[in-house]
Amino acid sequence: MSTIEEAMDSLRAGGFVALEDHPERENEADILLAGELATGATVNWMAAHVRGLITVAVSPEILERLDIPLLQPRYTVANAPRFTEPVDAVEGTTTGASAFDRALTLRKLANPNSVPADFSRPGHVFPLACMPGCLRDRQGHTEGAVALARLAGLQPVVAICELMNEEGQMAHGEQVREFARVHGMPRISVQELVERTCGQA
């Protein structure tokens, strides 16, 4: 396991972080990338190597400022991720689906000068709403990603993608450790962030 400082350094450098949750929760890992530093190359790498759905953890304050509403939940389990209206950046994108278009949308979401009219809806980037109390309210990957970004001094907009193995199943335990080792990325847990940030996040 890496340190939170190593994870912050990687995020600030535009690199990746593997974030694991509790074995008795989802027992899964998400790979994190700072939204403001996303590039077409890094989003494409996530799609090719991490394999899960690329979403973006966003603080409620930013979602409110950009007028991005929660989707009406139906038949969801308790503690499920809070999906919002998917968006694309209006300027600079084509269809919105390419890795380069999605990276631009991520950067636009993280731009403090962005306004609601900068986004078309529905789009190809799926913001997930962090709970208002962050890790005090919910100990999920969404909240962990936002907490880590805040610790790192970055905008609370973080691309997250569930790590899948080569068979298309969710990666667990040793598979996550090996993936992080092979690709040279820090690996931390949500629980570590809870212990570090619960008074701050």
Average pLDDT, the chain: 94
Residue 22 pLDDT: 76
Domains and CATH numbers, the chain: 4-197 (3.90.870.10)
Euclidean distance between CA atoms 124 and 95, whole angstroms? 9
Q: What is the mean pLDDT of residues 134-159?
A: 96
- Determine the 3-state secondary structure of 126 from DSSP: strand
Q: What is the pLDDT of residue 114?
A: 99
In the sheet with 16-20, reading across from the earlier edge strand, the strands are 87-89, 119-129, 51-58, 157-163, 29-34, 16-20, 187-189
pLDDT of residue 72: 83
Res. 200: pLDDT tops 50: no
Residue 3, exposed/middle/buried by CB under 10 A (0-12, 13-18, 19+)?
Answer: exposed
Residue 75 pLDDT > 80, yes or no? no
pLDDT at 73 over 80: no
Q: Which residues, including other chains, have CB under 8 Å from residue 23's CB and lie 6 or more apart?
A: none
User: Under a CB-based contact definition with an 8 Å cutoff, are residues 181 and 171 in contact?
Assistant: no
* CA-angle at 124, arms to 119 and 126, nearest 5°: 85
**Nearest-CA neighbor of 82 among 27, 142, 22?**
142
Percent over 70 (pLDDT), the chain: 95
Q: What is the Cα–Cα distance from 194 to 69, expressed in whole angstroms?
A: 27
Confidence of residue 61 (pLDDT cuts 50, 70, 90): very high
Does residue 124 register a pLDDT over 70? yes
Tell me the sheet residues that pair with 164: 170
